[in-house]
Amino acid sequence: MDAEKLQTYQKYIQILGLADSPARPTLASDALQKRAQDIQIDLKEWEDLKATFQAYSTRGKNYFEASNYQDAIEEFEIALSLNPHEEKTLLGLAQSHANRWTSQRRSTDKQKAIDYAERVLRGKPEDKQAVRIITMLKNAPFQPWISYKMWWLMGRWALTLAILGGVYWFYATNKEAIHGYFSKLTEKSTTTLPAEAGVDFEKIHFAAGGYDLNAQAKRQLNKLASYLRKNQDIKGELACHTDNSGNSTFNLQISEARAKIVYDYLLQKGVSSSQISYKGYGDLHPLEPNDSETNREKNRRVEFIMRKR
């Protein structure tokens, strides 16, 4: 309905004094219709007002029967503004608030249900339904809105979140130590080259942000290439690691690129691609804590991990 027309009808009700009247006139009464005509409300408007009231009242009843108490309350309240003393509307509001209180335990719903039911009894003292609502609500024992089962579930979720938070805090504060520990576990499944290979891979390093192999690195790789050509049953992985400078995504990318450079260099020296593979691990497996430039340099490394047969 047009909001402006609804406001006009509500104003008519105020002018008629119905909202504050101790009497209980209804919109259908001839006396009330005559009073409306006395203040220049024509018959068509009066019939339209009654039809509007009935429409809101009917919608409120339909919402109530569908257990949609929020919308039922809204419709009944508008209907009540058009006929402030109509018992069915008052009772509909009392029942809607009472039912919503039963499911949600809002104290305001409980008090409003009692107030509307008492207004019904002022005009209709014999109304058993209104008496039942008042009796039930005033004598109802306290019950928490959230059930004990819900409290238990919420407590369990809170405990789970607390544990996960503790685990994350421990990981965040001990990240490098944890990675170092798992690196050592991983190394148990691999072996380093025998002493006769003459290669110390802790000396194969890159400058910060760099990709170039220096002269010392090339000498060591030449020794490795020679050893692998002579021992073609040896197979392994070129594992490249970085320090923790920069973000983890960039570190993973640069380690992959550096590993590929070493891989290509060995292929150029005659090593078979069936013997070697390469992989970048970023900053996940530091040899030393990244707390100094010396340690960070040690962590920027390529290792040849020979797989156990």
* Most confident listed range (68-72, 213-217, 220-224): 68-72
Question: Which has the higher per-residue pLDDT, 260 or 307?
Answer: 260
Nearest-angstrom CA–CA distance, 266 and 226? 9
φ and ψ at residue 288, rounded to 5 degrees: -130, 160
* 232-248 per-position pLDDT tens digit: 888 889 999 988 888 88
- 303 within a domain of the structure (yes/no): yes
* 117-131 per-position pLDDT tens digit: 998 898 888 888 989
Residue 188: the pLDDT is: 42
- 145 within a domain of the structure (yes/no): no
- 278 within a domain of the structure (yes/no): yes
> What is the pairing mode between strands 190-191 and 301-307?
antiparallel
Has residue 147 got a pLDDT over 60?
Answer: no
Residue 156: the pLDDT is: 84
* Mean pLDDT across 91-112: 88
- 150 within a domain of the structure (yes/no): no
- 177 within a domain of the structure (yes/no): no
CATH number for the domain spanning 109: value is 1.25.40.10
Q: Please give the mean pLDDT across all residues of the chain.
A: 80
Residues 135, 194, single domain; the answer is no
| Residue ranges with strand state E in the chain | 190-191, 236-241, 276-280, 301-307
Has residue 309 got a pLDDT over 50?
Answer: no
- Give residue 216's domain range: 189-307
Residues 9, 132, single domain; the answer is yes
Which residue shows structure tokens 């024509």?
42
Is the backbone of residue 31 left (phi > 0), alpha (psi -120 to 50) or beta? alpha
Nearest-angstrom CA–CA distance, 90 and 83? 10
Question: Tokens for 297?
Answer: 């340099």
Q: Residue 264's pLDDT band (boundaries 50, 70, 90)?
A: very high
Has residue 268 got a pLDDT over 50?
Answer: yes
- 49 within a domain of the structure (yes/no): yes
Name the domain count of the chain: 2
> How many angstroms separate the Cα of 22 from the Cα of each of 18, 42, 121, 123?
8, 25, 13, 9
* 13-69 per-position pLDDT tens digit: 776 666 555 555 555 566 666 777 776 677 787 788 888 888 889 999 999 999 999
Please tell me the number of Cα atoms within 13 Å of 292 on its side-chain side. 5
> What is the pairing mode between strands 301-307 and 236-241?
antiparallel
> Which residues neighbour 206 within 8 Å (Cβ) at sequence distance 6 or greater?
212, 258, 300, 301, 302
Residues 132, 8, single domain; the answer is yes
